[in-house]
Amino acid sequence: MVTPLLDEDTLDLKGCEKLVNHLIGGGVHGLFILGTTGEGPSLKQSLQLELVKYVCSEVGGRIPVLVGIMDASFKEAVNIAAKAEEYGAYAVVIAPPFFYQISQDELYSFTSRLIREIFLPVYLYNNPGLTKVSFEVETVEKLIQDPQVIGIKDSSADMFYFNRLLKLTVPSEMPLLMGPEELLMEALLIGGTGGVPGGGNVFPELFVEIYELATAGKLEEARNLQKKIMKVSETFYSGSGYGSSNVINGIKCALKHLDICNDYLAQPLKKASPEKEKKIHQFLAGS
């Protein structure tokens, strides 16, 4: 879920409310807030906590709320997790610390110590393109010995790696979620459990449907729907900047055109350009 913002310092609470209900109405099985698409790392901590509190309250137990814990500082990470528990989150999704370059040994120590200081269930969040370190399969294998670890979200877009993770997660039926929505169909076809598609903010039904088709093994129908997912990807996530901006500003731009929430992005990311906005507007008008 993106984080609706009025400006650098202010949540768009009306937008949050609409977005939460748009998503639940669209049939999603859970919410993941304050992840990469949720601009977690760009928001000051007090704003992050305000969002967690608001969303948990608005959801009111209808579906599980997962909270991204993405902070370069161990102690700040612990603090956010404690608040997430207090506000009623279902689980936290923890990313590696993302400033220093670290070894697997350091990653394991950091993560296992962090889990020890957190009381909610934990998803591991692999996103090496942004955190500079990957949870290598051997490290995942050690970490999931701990029953507090209940799932994995992989945003590496590395299907070779995802295939190797399946060997760990399939026997125990541990959820293994795909990050990039373009790879959701195939992740499900080969045995993955679900996904965390950014485009689901705009079109929750689309991704619920691909989930249902792929898990039911309806190959032809799934491939047809996949064409639409690729079309959304091309239209919404292209642009002149880097990936981070382009993905999030495409989603927020569409949500604004759907009158769901504001399209402000926290520093350092930027709104969609007028040209991109026009393309998205046309897409929405035609879809």
The binding site for a second copy (CB under 8 A) comprises: 8-9, 36, 41-45, 47, 70, 72-76, 79, 96-103, 105-107, 109-110, 113, 129-130, 132, 157-160, 163-164, 167, 180, 182-183, 185-186, 189-191, 217, 219, 223, 226-227, 230, 240-245, 266-270
Q: How far is the CB of 13 from a second copy (least distance, A)?
A: 18
- 20 vs 140 by CB, closer to a second copy: 140
Q: How far is the CB of 261 from a second copy (least distance, A)?
A: 20
List beta partners, residue 178.
154, 195
Q: How far is the CB of 179 from a second copy (least distance, A)?
A: 11
Q: How far is the CB of 94 from a second copy (least distance, A)?
A: 12
- 59 vs 226 by CB, closer to a second copy: 226
Please give the DSSP secondary-structure letter assigned to residue 17: H
- Closest to 18 measured CA to CA, from 198, 196, 202, 199: 202
- 169 vs 245 by CB, closer to a second copy: 245
* Alpha carbons 1 and 21: distance in angstroms, whole number: 12
- Closest to 43 measured CA to CA, from 91, 75, 74, 6: 6
- 86 vs 234 by CB, closer to a second copy: 234
- Closest to 256 measured CA to CA, from 10, 58, 12: 12
- 149 vs 269 by CB, closer to a second copy: 269
* Alpha carbons 142 and 150: distance in angstroms, whole number: 13
Q: How far is the CB of 29 from a second copy (least distance, A)?
A: 21
Q: How far is the CB of 274 from a second copy (least distance, A)?
A: 15
| Beta strands at 10-11 and 5-7: parallel, antiparallel or unpaired | antiparallel
| Beta strands at 149-154 and 31-33: parallel, antiparallel or unpaired | unpaired
Helix H or strand E encompassing 69: strand 65-69
Secondary-structure breakdown of the chain: helix, strand, coil percentages, each rounded to the nearest 5: 55, 10, 35
Q: How many CB atoms neighbour CB 137 within 10 A?
A: 12
* Alpha carbons 72 and 127: distance in angstroms, whole number: 14
Q: How far is the CB of 56 from a second copy (least distance, A)?
A: 21
- 223 vs 257 by CB, closer to a second copy: 223
